Amino acid sequence: MSKRYADAFFFTGYYGLIALAILFALIPIVIAVVLSFDNRTFIGPFPPTDWSFRWYEEFLTSDYYHQGLKTSLIVSSTATLFSTVIGALTAIAIDRGRFWGRGVLQSLFISPLVIPTVVIGFGVLMFASRLGIVDGLPRLIMGHIIITFPYVVRTTLAALIGLRPSYFEAALSLGATPYQALWHITIPLARTGIIAGAIFAFVMSFDEVAVSLFLSDPFTYTLPVALLAQMRANLNLTIAAVSVIFIIVTIVLIWALDRIAGLDKIVGQGVYGRIR
């Protein structure tokens, strides 16, 4: 019987930790959602006494945020497009190839996940200025390509790992050229990995702050940089409203990711996975 008591004790702790983790994760989000409907113009005691949509209106009518959102969308979609096309091709080459330096090359392509974002931001800033690029937009796109590229390479590689080379070889034996086989066989088979990579890339780029902080200029700034500046200036509930919008968009993205690639699959491979 003492074994049973020990088990009961142990699993109380086990479920206690799970409950603690869920509470810790959820409380801030619930608070932010509630506060976004607060009618008060100062941050008063919780919960709010008066409700309104004023912070949503403020966000939707502010030129400052609009400018940031526009820049964010341009930067993130350009960087995602670039990373998805080139990253997918790179992953296919790495998966198929058995060439010297393959491991090194792969580590190199994945390395931006590990290099501190501050370093990437600072580095791109100086690199761009030496190339004579002083405009915010191209700098931001450069920085965001670096940080999004590894996600596409990773997810595409993960999708390709399970594929037998015989598919490609069968296509060749049926008379297809390597390029036809690639276009009609390999890329469609890796499709879910590529799309999942694109979604990851877009999300990571859209949320990115540290790199953008270095590369923005007074006229070109991303939405997170704009929010960060507001947050440092004064605690303003507009950000709570933006948070709710972000949370909704996140939920939609998760749903899309599940429909396209299947969440279990993504998690099964690990988001960062093991370095091969």
Rounded Cα–Cα distance for residues 250 and 256 (Å): 10
DSSP letter for each residue of 135-146: -HHHHHHHHHHH
The CB-of-80 to other proteins minimum distance in angstroms stands at 14
Rounded Cα–Cα distance for residues 138 and 211 (Å): 13
Residue nearer to other proteins on the CB measure, 60 or 263: 263
Would you say 71 and 220 are in contact if contact means Cβ atoms under 8 Å apart? yes
The CB-of-233 to other proteins minimum distance in angstroms stands at 12
The CB-of-162 to other proteins minimum distance in angstroms stands at 14
Would you say 226 and 64 are in contact if contact means Cβ atoms under 8 Å apart? yes
The CB-of-249 to other proteins minimum distance in angstroms stands at 9
One-letter amino acid of 223:
L
DSSP 51: B
The CB-of-66 to other proteins minimum distance in angstroms stands at 17
DSSP letter for each residue of 141-180: HHHHHHHHHHHHHHHHHHHHHTS-THHHHHHHHTT--HHH
Q: For the chain, how far is it from start to end, CA to CA, in angstroms?
A: 46
Residue nearer to other proteins on the CB measure, 71 or 117: 117
The CB-of-53 to other proteins minimum distance in angstroms stands at 18
Q: What interhelical angle do 63-96 and 191-207 show, nearest 10?
A: 140
Residue nearer to other proteins on the CB measure, 60 or 252: 252
Rounded Cα–Cα distance for residues 194 and 207 (Å): 20
Rounded Cα–Cα distance for residues 147 and 114 (Å): 10
Residue nearer to other proteins on the CB measure, 60 or 108: 108
Residue nearer to other proteins on the CB measure, 60 or 231: 231
Residue whose tokens read 């491991």: 103
The CB-of-223 to other proteins minimum distance in angstroms stands at 8
Other C-beta atoms within 10 Å of 164: how many?
8
The CB-of-132 to other proteins minimum distance in angstroms stands at 13
Can you say how many angstroms the Cα of residue 157 is from the centroid of all Cα atoms in its chain?
Answer: 17
Rounded Cα–Cα distance for residues 88 and 94 (Å): 10
